[in-house]
Amino acid sequence: MTIIYRCQIELHDSLYFATREIGRLYETEPVLHNYALCYALGLVDSEIYSTTVSEEHSYRYFCPEQVPKYEEHLTPLNQQGIYVTPARAVNHASVLHTWKYANNNYHVEMEKTQKNIPSFGRAKEIAAESVFEFFIISEKSLTLRRWIRLGKWASKAEVTVEELPKPKRHQEDEFTFSYPLNPIDVMFNHRVLSYDTINMPPVSLIRNVRMRGEFYTFEGLKENLKIPARMQYRFS
């Protein structure tokens, strides 16, 4: 049994993470990576995850080292048949914040200094009330958190979930998917014909993807939605 959820995230605070750095401008792309969504939604810290990963690797309260463990953390979701797509902005606005800071070498390196030269930077953030949309494909029923935290400032956001009609699976054919996708996860079982690139860490995403492979359709929806099938987290 395959269940597909359409999820929306509404920001209640401005959202910041550095998708790109242009001089002193740090810009946030209006796209949410599927790795980040798995952590924010609590899927990585679920009971299933905690039974497969020891407590010393738990990131719930304390992160002892700044080393990503995506493969270790997300592989259990493959085993449970859960996959989260990246999220695109349904509607969004940006806000530009300027911040200033002083030279702090005497704090960090214990250097003597006679000057206190201020510097500055700008952060382009996604404004509150912006809305994002993504999908979860699952082999079992899920109960998701209503409130989550996102980005560098742990911005508050509200999650709403809609279970889509029972999906119908189609064999290999050509179709287009306008939402963002993780190319590593989709290219293993699909032939990607054309796409636009979204440059962002840790894995750049693709969108407006024309591909050939298996996909799901739904009866009763206003739009002609076709979602790629057989997507899993891969780390080659």
* Cα–Cα distance, 130 to 110 (Å, whole number): 43
* Cα–Cα distance, 74 to 69 (Å, whole number): 8
Would you state the pLDDT for residue 23? 83
Q: Is the pLDDT of residue 50 over 50?
A: no
Percent of the chain with pLDDT over 70: 83
pLDDT band at residue 227, thresholds of 50, 70 and 90?
A: very high
User: Higher pLDDT residue, 233 or 67?
Assistant: 233
For residue range 70-113, list pLDDT tens digits in order.
999 999 999 999 999 999 999 999 999 887 766 555 555 555 55
Would you state the pLDDT for residue 52? 40
Q: What is the pTM of this model?
A: 0.84
For residue range 173-208, list pLDDT tens digits in order.
999 999 999 999 999 999 999 999 999 989 999 999
Mean pLDDT of the chain: 87
Could you please report the per-residue DSSP string of 182-210? -HHHHTTTSEEEEEEEE--SSS-EEEEEE
For residue range 14-24, list pLDDT tens digits in order.
999 988 888 88
Residue 13 falls in which region: left (phi positive, over 0), alpha (psi -120 to 50) or beta: beta
Q: Is the pLDDT of residue 58 over 80?
A: no
For residue range 126-148, list pLDDT tens digits in order.
999 999 999 999 999 999 999 99
Residue 135 falls in which region: left (phi positive, over 0), alpha (psi -120 to 50) or beta: beta
